[in-house]
Chains A and B, each alone.
Chain A
Amino acid sequence: MHLTSPQFKSNVDHALHDAQLQKALGNVRAGFIDKRAKAAAALPEFEALRDNARDIKDHTLAHLDLYLEAYEKRVTESGGHVHFAETAKDACAIISSICKSVGAKTVTKGKSMIAEEIGLNDFLEADGLTTVETDLGEYIIQLRHEGPSHIIAPAVHLNKEQVEADFRRVHKDLPGDRDLSEPASLLSEARAVLREKFLAADVGITGANFLIAETGTSVIVTNEGNGDLTQILPKVHIVIASVEKITPTLNDASQILRLLARSATGQDMSVYTTFSTGPRRPGDVDGPEQYHVVILDNGRSSMLGTEFEDMLRCIRCGACMNHCPIYHSVGGHAYGWVYPGPMGAVLTPTLVGVDKSGHLPNASTFCGRCESVCPMRIPLPKMMRHWREREFERNLSPATVRWGLSVWSFFARRPKLYQFSTGLAMRALGAFGRAKGRFSFLPLAGGWTKYRDFPAPEGATFQQQWKAKRGAA
């Protein structure tokens, strides 16, 4: 996907004036927030599971080299092959050579953010292969030559009329007068068209939500079943996954699975959670004859041991963007690369360089909602702040940002003064803003409120609320 993060500001401008996009973004606010809240509230152990999931991932990252070795050993024992790729290019080259080795022409793909990250489709197409995305949302954006605008709902930026126009443009051999006015008719058309592709494919490529060291198993989670048809029908199944997907045991994955669907779509469990281990066994009557796993680093190992290590706990549930006021306003494409929203604002600078994406960590109101819903308890606002500080040190920030930050750090280094003045400001803002809940204008923050409403503070700073809470407990 072409990187446009350096033009973040003009992307935002564009997004805010795109009426179709603004209509579609309403579906994010309406579609995800309440469902997640209900699903989390219905499971009394949800918070304890979040703690345990964080601990599992922290333990895994601290022993990542050893779990990678254990995982590799199990995959090999079950007849599969593990390939390590340092860079995006290495991963693409490995996958391409596997495809060539079996004389593949058509490749079906389950949804994979890593495949987006490494630009796999373009690479394979340049090598003469036909790639077919099979997740409905991915299929739609592939027809439009777009990147995903959301990590679990790639076509969330589109309305059904746009999808209808694309289907009419591409599915030319179907009757022109067919009715495609409802999402259901669009879905069944895609189902029929893609069914043929599944059955004709030579290679199936999926991502993985987990790589299990205990058994050498890759795990995918889908609602459509497209990932399964992608991996059981062709003669070769290739998994592309990044290093931090390693999870010690099936039990550890079960703990995290209880958080994943609830945080993502508000389901208790996604429809299909599939555990794949090696190629088909002697006597098996279906399943792939070859099974390959490509494990990608692409800069992640250098996050270990730094203030960005926590980001490697991310399970790509999308909750942070579903709850982000900035994402709600500008959508995913404005972030300019494959990972949008708060997780993208942290991850993109690590993967493509802060010099090219320095605006992203500024795309935050620091309202803290992302961290409060992140199932893996990733301190996203804190990490965005780290990026801002690094950017500041590198002197890349525009003058106004430098000024603002130096004022902030003056206070930050004097906690008493900081508490006092933010307390004052919060009470004042709370009193003004409470009637509406949002400010559309704030003095000194014109650059901000020109485009966005600033959520009205609830009348006490976090530190005050925390103290009061603790006092009450």
Chain B
Amino acid sequence: MNGREAVLSRVRQSLGVTGKEESRRREVAERLADVPRGVIPARGQLPDEERIALFMKQADKALATIERVPSAELVPEAIAMYLRSKNLPAELKRGEDPRLAALPWERAPQLAISTGPTGGRDLVGVSHAGAGVAETGTIVMLSGPENPSTLNFLPDYHIVVLSAGDITGDYETAFDKVRAQYGAGVMPRTVNFITGPSRSGDIEQKLLLGAHGPRSLHILVVG
């Protein structure tokens, strides 16, 4: 008997089932199809503007920095200003995401921009988020050819562009967006929920920013 059969049959023996029970199979199939939402915190269930405000407040609490940019055209200048405020070189690496590619980068001509995944030599990475979640100020990153996951982790500074319209109240609604985009039961290779910059409390339980991931997370909420 192989490991698979051995484990499954031991589970069934302990549960006193065969695995063929119609009612059990139906219950499982229904839960997987219906994806019940359970208890949703009231805190995120707000009209648009208040939900965006909550997202910004919670991201700040998680020690991200965050600014609101009225329109997408202003993003390149906002990025250039952020880099200047941190005394960083005007250089960045970004994915090929069409929403980033379409930005008027010529409005910040000082920026030296490269695209693609990072091998760890880039100080600054710029990504576009798939969604934001207001209840905890979390950004949701979806991997793909145009959105490399390495940009979320290797650069010291991670700058994330998020459309205000993509901010949901809760995680469950963010997953609804993923299901709508990829189909039921299907996920991109990597979905990163990111809440603030990397940190560790492993030495004497003192919280320190900048463990293995980015030391700073800067979010631009657009619109």
Contact = CB atoms under 8 A, between A and B. Distances in A.
Contact of A66 (B16, B24, B37): B24
A393 interface: no
Nearest to A134: B212
B180 interface: no
A271 B6 contact: no
Interface of B: 2-4, 6-8, 10-17, 19, 24-25, 27-28, 31-32, 35-43, 58, 61-62, 116-117, 119-120, 135-136, 138, 143-145, 148-150, 152-154, 170-172, 175, 178, 185-206, 208, 210-214
A301 B149 contact: no
Of residues B8, B31, B189, B198, which shows the largest number of chain A Cβ atoms within 10 Å of its Cβ?
B189
A257 B214 CA distance: 22
A439 interface: no
13 contacts: A24-B204, A49-B39, A154-B202, A183-B206, A225-B153, A254-B170, A254-B171, A273-B138, A273-B192, A274-B191, A275-B187, A302-B10, A304-B14
The 7 closest A-B CB pairs, nearest first, are: A225-B213, A224-B211, A31-B205, A137-B202, A304-B14, A283-B145, A84-B3
Contacts of A59: 31
Contact of A70 (B2, B28, B204): B28
Nearest to A305: B14
B193 A229 contact: no
A120 B45 CA distance: 45
Contacts of A199: 119-120
A155 B58 CA distance: 29
A27 interface: yes
Contact of B190 (A66, A183, A223, A275): A275
Nearest to A228: B153
Interface of A: 24, 27-28, 30-32, 43-45, 48-49, 52, 56, 59, 62-70, 72, 74, 78, 82-86, 90, 94, 134-137, 140, 153-156, 158-160, 163, 183-184, 186-188, 191, 194-195, 198-199, 213-215, 217, 223-226, 228-229, 232-233, 243, 248-252, 254-255, 257-258, 265, 267-281, 283-287, 295, 297, 301-306
Given A56-B38, A283-B145, A228 B19 contact: no
A267 B207 CA distance: 11
A160 B211 contact: no
A136 B154 contact: no
A247 to B, nearest CB: 11
B15 A304 contact: yes
Contacts of A159: 204
B209 to A, nearest CB: 9
Contacts of A63: 24, 27-28
Contacts of B196: 271
B14 A302 contact: yes
B218 to A, nearest CB: 15
Contacts of B171: 251, 254, 257
Given A268-B195, A306-B14, 5 more contacts: A49-B39, A198-B212, A225-B198, A249-B36, A305-B16
Nearest to B151: A286
B203 A160 contact: yes
B8 A65 contact: yes
Given A283-B145, A304-B15, A136 B202 contact: yes
B135 to A, nearest CB: 8
A297 B7 contact: yes
Q: Report which residue of B17, B24, B32, B170 has the largest number of chain A beta carbons within 10 angstroms of its beta carbon.
A: B32
Contacts of B31: 59, 248-249
B201 A223 contact: yes
Contact of B213 (A258, A271, A279): A271
Nearest to B119: A199
A272 B201 contact: no
B210 A65 contact: no
Contacts of A250: 35, 172, 175, 178
A222 B58 CA distance: 18
B205 A30 contact: yes
Contacts of A269: 62, 136, 138, 193, 195
A135 B16 CA distance: 40
B202 to A, nearest CB: 4
Contacts of B144: 281, 283-284
B38 A252 contact: yes
A65 B25 CA distance: 10
A51 B94 CA distance: 43
Contacts of B145: 281, 283-285
A134 B212 CA distance: 9
Given A224-B211, A249-B31, A277 B187 contact: yes
Contacts of A158: 203
A31 B201 contact: yes
A403 to B, nearest CB: 35
Given A84-B6, A184-B208, A64 B11 contact: yes
Given A48-B39, A251-B36, A281-B144, A272 B27 contact: no
Contacts of B210: 187-188, 191
A103 B31 CA distance: 41
Nearest to A141: B202
Given A70-B28, A163-B203, A86 B6 contact: yes
B10 A297 contact: yes
A224 B42 contact: no
Given A63-B24, A254-B175, A255-B38, A268 B136 contact: yes
B42 A45 contact: yes
Nearest to A277: B187
Contacts of B40: 45
Contacts of B205: 27-28, 30-32, 153, 156
Contacts of B204: 24, 27, 159-160, 183
Nearest to B141: A274
A450 B197 CA distance: 46
Nearest to B133: A269
Given A63-B28, A213-B32, A228-B153, A69 B8 contact: yes
A252 to B, nearest CB: 7
